Amino acid sequence: MLNFEFCRPTKYVLSRFAENQVGSLITGLGYKKIMLVYGCGSCVRSGLLDKVLDLLEQAKIEVITLGGVKPNPRADLVYNGIELGRRNKVEFILAIGGGSVIDTAKAIALGIPDDGDFFDFYLKKRKPKTALKTGVILTLPASGSEGSTNSVIQKEIDGRVFKESCVSNLNLPAFALLNPELTFTLSEYQTACGVFDMMCHILERYFTNTQDVTVSDRLCEALLLSIIESAMIVYDDPENYEARANLMWAGTLAHNDLCGVGREQDWASHYLEHQLSALYDIPHGAGLSVIFPAWMDFTYKHDVMRFAQFANRIFGCAMNFYDPESTARAGIMSLRNFARNLGLPLNFEELGAHASDIPLLLNMLGVDDVNKSQGSFMILHRRDCEQIYRNAALFDPKALSV
């Protein structure tokens, strides 16, 4: 196991009506004037926005609202939010929504006290030194942003789209309010995208070169098994509180790094996917259901026994000690079968992507064949990433029945 330090100051509250605590938590932190960030209307339609505005008024908290965050959130709204926040001297940013809203709130919180361009942090030109505090009312378990050090924002610069991450402990929310009932309104497809995303947050950590990480291996496996079990219940019964609660908590634990500390992590699939969601404006989880198995096809021979362990422990594939590669391949196929059962895409055509765009995707990814690479489980240069995109483009779903 690698050495690590781990501190998560975020207060998690999971309960029916968890959002009722929003006023007392913010006043408890000493803030009186906040910005409330939300998306394109789901929290308006559900009545959640009005409810939260009432709760904040009762707590005598002044609120500036900023709605309209789109999935795959854009920098433009962040710039507006920074300007609005500075003009109104807001002290705290509250997000109501999923990853896109939370990441926008985090970016605004980084930008308000900073003199330069907030996107410099995402382009890794500078590191943030300070930020306003954020809080979250989560409505979509998927990104894990409610407990992660990460924020992902998209910006077009000179005709090229950059979907980039800023990783900093300053991004950790002060609190995350998790009411599973708020997720009952999610569509089957959005739920599925969230399920696949949280599974990939675990798998990016699970496929590692670090040896002797039994505790985090087993944590990863417990979460993966719980997610699969809960997802199948929710698929049949979308208003099953207990299954929704388990998905919500699993989504947070999948990405707050509890199961990632002490081990090398990969993340190549996420970078490969970010180019797809940036180019085609598709849900991140749908992009991952195409990319992650394609990455597995390309990398499993690097550590066949780890892939065979995944197949055996997660999908119950029989361990073939004479031919562990066959077990490893069965595990990859089981993951694709699971994605298919959730109604997720498995190749470029189903995703609405085009193989002819692969050179463009590789340019956006910024890899070459010498210095610039992705991943750590296997170091992937441009030709490797190209092969993974091709695997993803050409996968034939008919292979699933074999």
Contact footprint for ligand NZQ (CB under 6 A):
39-43, 71-73, 97-101, 103, 139-140, 142-145, 148, 150-152, 182-183, 185-186, 190, 194, 197, 255, 270, 274, 277, 284-285
Q: Residue 183: what residue type?
A: T
Q: Which is nearer to ligand NZQ, 61 or 142 (CB)?
A: 142
- Rounded Cα distance between 41 and 191, Å, is 17
Three-state secondary structure string covering 135-160 = EEEECCCCCCHHHCCEEEEEEEECCE
* Residue 39 interaction partner, one of ligand NZQ, Zn ion, none, beta carbon < 5-8 Å per kind: ligand NZQ
> Which lies closer to ligand NZQ via its Cβ, residue 286 or residue 330?
286
Determine which helix (DSSP H) or strand (DSSP E) holds 33, and give its type and residue range. Answer: strand 33-38
Q: Closest CB to Zn ion belongs to which residue? A: 197
Nearer to Zn ion, 19 or 197 (CB): 197
Helix (H) or strand (E) holding 36: strand 33-38
Rg (CA), the chain: 21
Smaller CB separation from ligand NZQ, 111 or 194: 194
Residue nearer to ligand NZQ on the CB measure, 179 or 216: 179
> For residue 177, what are the CA distances in angstroms to 14, 181, 311, 328?
6, 12, 34, 38
Residue 145 interacting entry, from ligand NZQ, Zn ion, none, C-beta within 5 to 8 Å by type: ligand NZQ
Considering beta carbons, is residue 93 or 186 the nearer one to ligand NZQ? Answer: 186
**Rounded-to-10 torsion of CA 177, 199, 257, 265:** -160
CB of 140 closer than 8 Å to CB of 160: no
72 binds, among Zn ion, ligand NZQ, none (CB under 5 to 8 A by kind): ligand NZQ
Nearer to Zn ion, 91 or 197 (CB): 197
| x-marked contacts with Zn ion along 161-200 as a string, rule CB under 5 A | ------------------------------------x---
Q: Which of residues 265-284 bind Zn ion (CB under 5 A)?
A: none
The minimum distance between CB 37 and ligand NZQ, in angstroms, equals 11
CA distance 383 to 381: 6
- Name the H helices within 150-283: 188-206, 214-236, 241-255, 268-280
Q: What is the smallest separation between the CB atom of 130 and ligand NZQ, expressed in angstroms?
A: 19
Per-residue exposure over 342-359, b if at least 16 CB sit within 10 Å of its own CB, e if not: bebbbbbeebebeeebbe
375 contacts which partner out of Zn ion, ligand NZQ, none, CB within 5 to 8 A by kind? none
Dihedral, 17, 21, 22, 23 alpha carbons, nearest 10: 130
41 binds, among Zn ion, ligand NZQ, none (CB under 5 to 8 A by kind): ligand NZQ
Per-position x/- string for 194-233, each x denoting binding to Zn ion as judged by CB under 5 A, each - no binding: ---x------------------------------------
* The dihedral formed by the CA atoms of 373, 376, 380 and 385, expressed in degrees to the nearest 10: -100
- Residues forming contacts to Zn ion in the complex (CB under 5 A) are 197
